[in-house]
Chains A and B, each alone.
Chain A
Amino acid sequence: MKMTFKTALLSTILAAGLAMPAFAQEVLKLPNMSYRTGPFAATGTPHMNGQRDYMTMLNERDGGIGGVRVAFDECETGYNTEKGVECYEKSKAEGALVTQPWSTGITLQVLPRTNVDAIPMYAPGYGFSAMQDGKTFKWAFNPPTSYWDGASMIMNAISDGDLANLKGKKVAFLHLDHPYGKEPLPLLEKLAADHGFELLPIPVGLSEMQNQSAQWLQIRRERPDFVVMWGWGAMNAGAITEAVKTRYPMDQFVSVWWGAHEPDLKLVGEEGKGYRALSWNFADPNAKLMQDVKKHVVDAGKSQLNQGAGEFESTPYQRGILMSVILAEAVKAAQEHAGTKMINREQLRWGLENVKLDEATLEELGATGMMAPFSMSCSNHTGHAGAWMVEWDGTKFNKVSDLLSADRAVIDPLVEKAAADYAAANQPWQMNEECTQ
């Protein structure tokens, strides 16, 4: 096991541009920015393990994508935006086909550069919501749903499908005080103004993630009807334990998909019953896809995951797998369209715009029910797959809703405005003029 791991790594490293150029042409460089250290490692690591393991699985099972091996190098950022810029420059110099910044802060820094450097930026389920507008953000993709989609779906779910039900109620928005956590605020503010509910934003500073007693005292005093959480890393576990302590009713506590994280809930076990999270994926360890990963990667000892802790069965790990599935599908589409196995950045961009993950494809991949089907186009870089509410029953998450979808009529105008503002602030900005949809 050790030998193969070594040789695999060695070949990736050699291929990473330090050795002969002839060698370098034989792999698809799809690097990732990871953060397996620091306070955010708790949620970061399982996702990154998943992303990595799917690519490893493709290499092992199919010899890569379309017969070309994938070099899935990681560059450690520790969620530090400074490291992010360094990693971006490094991977760009090494000829990476894509950049996966993995932090809304890094995304914001890298986004304008990708537009100039012509590198596709792939931010699955995170990043800047306005990236949906493919005409403005020619090179950026955030499938399968954006944060604004997520916020809209959560509000729809807690109001039982009609936001008018929220009139006069109070919704606390507990969020990380960071670009990521502030992302849904414009949409929520608009919804609050339109539907007459009170929005109470409660920021959690980076240094307070594990000690949220002030925030939860505020929640206890204000008695909001719902708490919507936009947390990450150590913050989620902190919030869930504080919620239990404050005796806040768990069925009024809803999180975005990053909060569908089993280890955080296991801390409180039974007492977390009723806690809900919106998730665009649903863990199914028995799906054919997962069994293939298990067979070719996990059991073969090529994975870094923590099996003892049940990571394989967990939602975030499987979400990471799906993140790589979407990317790999884009590569496949690009290879077919371009008629070459060794695609370039422009071709991958085409591939991402033409990802079609319909029921049939999901079936073929062995991922039925793990995520909702979606497709992207040149004007729609998000795909809007929709998501489910999952509820913690004391030991695991269960699907408790039908597939939810976001309120496009509210989001799209906001996206349009945000994209236009962004382009105006970054003049001269390269738009995708060819896209006519």
Chain B
Amino acid sequence: MVVLNSILVGLTEDEIKEVRKMLGREPNHLELAMIDAEWSEHCSYKSSKPLLKQLPTKGPRVIIGPGYDAGVVDVGDGYVVTLHIESHNHPSAIDPYGGAATGIGGVLRDILCMGTRPIALLDSLRFGNIEESAHSRWLFKHVVRGISDYGNCVGVPTVAGEVEFDNCFERNCLVDVVCLGLGRVENLVLAEAKHPGDAIILVGGSTGRDGIHGVTFASRVLTEKSDKERSAVQIPDPFMKKLIIEATLEAVATGYVRGLKDLGGGGLTCGLSEMADKGGCGIDIELSKVHLREKDLSPTEIMISESQERMLFIIKQGYEKEVCKIFDKYELPYSIIGRVTDSGNLVVKKNGIELANLPVKIVANAPLINRRAVEPDYIKNLKIIEKPTLPSDLSSVLLKLLNCPSIASKSWVYEQYDHEVGIRTVVKPGQGDASVLRLPNGTFLAIKVDGNSKHCYIDPYNGAAGCLSEVCRNLVSVGAEPLAFVDHLQFGDPGNPEVFWTFSESVRGLVDYSKAIGLPCIGGKVSFYNEDKVKNIAIKPSPVVAAIGIIEKQEWITTMNFKRDDDYIVILGETKSEMGGSEYYEYIHGLTGGTVPKIDFVKEKATINVVINAIRKGFVKAVHDISKGGIAVALAEMCISGRIGASINCINIPNNGIRIDEILFSETHSRFILETDSENINKLIELVKNAGITYNIIGKVGGKALRFYNDWELIHIPLLDLEDSYLNSIPKCMGEIL
């Protein structure tokens, strides 16, 4: 960070030299501030782009991949869905309510500006230890309330999510939000300024001082001064957003909207320069037309303000009135602030006087940085650790795991979200491994978001691949065929070669998995600088992935609850001693290290296919993937949601000769638990056998308790006790029940 022309900018000395060279002159104050915003890590992806390019982005249903505000996937009969992920980590760390709410606001706009209606939100949250830290409880409570107040008010259901707790997120909580949109292929709009003469209309909230330097703030680490940077957090207004959603969709339906861009990070500078660059044109704007919250805003502040609830419209020349009528109906403030030109330059004027004149090519294309990557010492040190001693009372271990906030029921969270509005939510939070929404053409869409920072910390490559594996298993469990994913990669300071190594390993994991399984990446986001300089801790590497899958027929929709007494319980996949980063090691034994689960891509693909086939043939009644907490937790969840017990013979669980606690709690990938009845058991086994998948019948559904035994009884827990641990853990942490 340097001080230049008396303003603080995030650009490096080298970058400023580069600007001078490209322009052939000294940039003025405003120009420098604009380049500073657009060249920030947040807007330019200058460190991450070279690696992200390796992700596969094409698929038979992909219409638009990465590079736009949201990815677009064909779901048949002229309908498309759009998908995007955003985070609001830095703002949420200092203002959890406003930060989380504006995060929702941002991702909604990304979906809206493709010309599609936002129909679902998901949230993926990471906090410190809420059992011990009052600060983390405060962050958790207000982040959830922020998402709840905003999402509920705009009328977009929050249908799924995940929450993880770990000490490393004590000050840097992570707030990722995913939005899904629905629209018609003929109504898609791109953020492109292609036709000189078209009007640039700024619609929505007034421009104020909130969010000044937001991207610069997001592109550095948190310090003891961060609390004083609250003005870098924007102010949420979900009511205004609701009006913008309805007005935008009405405007899109007129056919005169030729470009749409939300104003988020980098404000007007980013929105205008990216639209002009993508469309190969220029834009002239007049700052006196911008409606302001405070009269005395300087040109620089206007150009980089990140005030919320604003959209940029490009309207076909001559049709401005038709579209503005719609803004009038919704009583939305708007102003025609400029025109598309053929100059290739972004020209900023105030009262006709030119204040900035920059080629959009320069503004929108920051020079990339090739960062150095060095494997951190801690990785090697964590690989080999001594196994904990085998606990004598495995029943209490299972109860404790069910009580672990990262595993326990998240009903405290999702009951604060309206997950029903829009009347599309068929499989609701808590009912299945993913949520399922109905689409207007009679098909169904499954959606889920997953992450696992504990695995990624010990082994970023296998950890990141594992996140994709888990999200795919979750989709498959509800009967869906995975279609596409978006990723959000959250790390510390990329200038630190050790941090950058964990980033590049994570990307490599995502690349290898998605190529092997054939799952295209249609968008994503990178968030660096998640570090706390006060306590000197960086977050654990935290890639988060959200994926969608399609279910063509209603009868294929599958839930996870055990259905009937006497049904068979079948396991797919072999259980291995892969205990590194498991909740069993971390939460029960306080151990970090060991070998994390690795994926055999061939087996993974075959297992996914066999589950999809079994569901389509009607051979199974319940499906649940095995992840956090292992087999024991997966079975407990199926019992709790079905309100029925089960008896499991551990001798029958396929494994490579490992200890009983490892069998019960290992988080090995590519495993599923299936419920089937006597009519279908043989057909299911034949299907699985033919696919060459390891399997076995491990027990039966029934009774009022969950039992595990081998030669003697290992675990015996009455249903009511399972429920108490699982359902009441988070309300107890939050002090709402004793």
Mutual binders A and B = no
Q: Taking beta carbons and an 8 Å cutoff, which residues of B are in contact with A?
A: none
